Amino acid sequence: MGRNSWFETVAEAQRRAKKYLPSTVYDALVAGSERGRTIDDNLGAFAELGFAPRVVGHHAERDLSTTVLGVPTSLPVVISPTGVQAVHPDGEVAVARAAANRGVIMGLSSFASKPVEEVVQANPNTFYQMYWTGTRESMAQRMERARAAGAKALIVTLDWSFSNGRDWGSPAIPEKVDLRTVVRFAPDVLPRPRWLWTFAKSRRVPDLTVPNLQPPGGKPLTFFGAYHEWMRTVPPTWEDVKWMREEWGGPFLLKGVSRVDDAKRAVDAGVSGISVSNHGGNNLDSTPATIRILPSIAEAVGDDIEVLLDGGIRRGGDVAKALALGAHAVLIGRAYLWGLGANGQAGVENVLDILRAGLDSAVLGLGHSSIHELSPDDLAVPAGFTRTLGATQ
């Protein structure tokens, strides 16, 4: 990138990524399914919340640090695991380095393009993510590999529901990058010479395999091969969740919760924490924004386990709003992917700096010295804003 590679907002990172990446690569990063109602609500709901700032009594120093599942972090922001980050030659390793440089926890997808061993080496504070896919034997083997690599917690994502079709069109993603693929996508790639040069310098091509699902002694699956394995796997029960938690034996985060009754069942299953998440809008469309359903879930189980939020975070002020409504921390996905697409590792660091500055500004303006002092009293919450799903009387 040029001398002016720094950007001041996540929105600008997205604009830069759109200009820099081939359209097929950019389209693969765009969230949403079906009509896109959930992704729109994830983003729009934060704008409905107002701040209630104080005019006097501000603190010269603010503490933004916390722990997540016992792991210290300089910021209540966790890199959410997203699959196949081959938009950049270093992919997940670049993201892990950026997170480590900013004192932030890295979440690594089992569908990632880089092996867990390399990512943990780049950032020792890595959480490894899994789906319920394959046999119990293969899942136990994958957990053991992540444990041996040094992953400090397990994230289990169970809310993906095979949503198909987007009104604006789904991205064209090849099975692998071979000569036929190069010819097919040349008209899209050649007009983006800077992106092409980045891969040429690395002497690598975009890797669309998932090495973390490679069986011992076997070959790594392609992304679509892994996807098909997952689709063929019988969905899990709560007993299966309990088995995974026991098999892992360490900090365990269940991702994808949107109902109060599910949150309570998660506590009964012995999880360490949950993420209130709708898969970034890529799951069942018309699911409410996670910030709307957070308060009821945090009230129901927040004293028992750590409650995180995932979905729609684009500013440090969004982080402050989530914490004020009961989140222990948040996970970010698209925000750092835009940074990676716009400027590699430096772009991810840029995004984390934007979130840090925005959160610090909110804590300052609200008259607090720590993120742990944020509460609903700091917000103007409009009538009818929240949603409660799956509540039992």
Instruction: List the catalytic residues.
Output: 279
Rounded distance, CA 113 to CA 209, Å? 6
For residue 237, what are its two tokens?
């029960």
Burial 166-195 (b: 16+ CB within 10 A, else e): beeeeeeebeebeeeeeeebeebbeebeeb
Q: Residues near 106 by Cβ (< 8 Å), separated by ≥ 6?
A: 79, 92, 95, 96, 99, 100, 119, 122, 123, 125, 126, 127
Helices (H), the chain: 10-20, 23-29, 37-48, 91-101, 116-122, 136-149, 179-189, 193-202, 223-232, 238-248, 260-268, 290-301, 316-324, 334-365
End-to-end Cα distance, the chain: 56
* 281 contacts 32 by C-beta, under 8 angstroms: yes
- Residues forming a β-bridge with 73: 66
Rounded distance, CA 258 to CA 349, Å? 30
Reduced 3-state DSSP string for 304-332? CCEEEEECCCCCHHHHHHHHHCCCCEEEE
- Residues forming a β-bridge with 379: 51
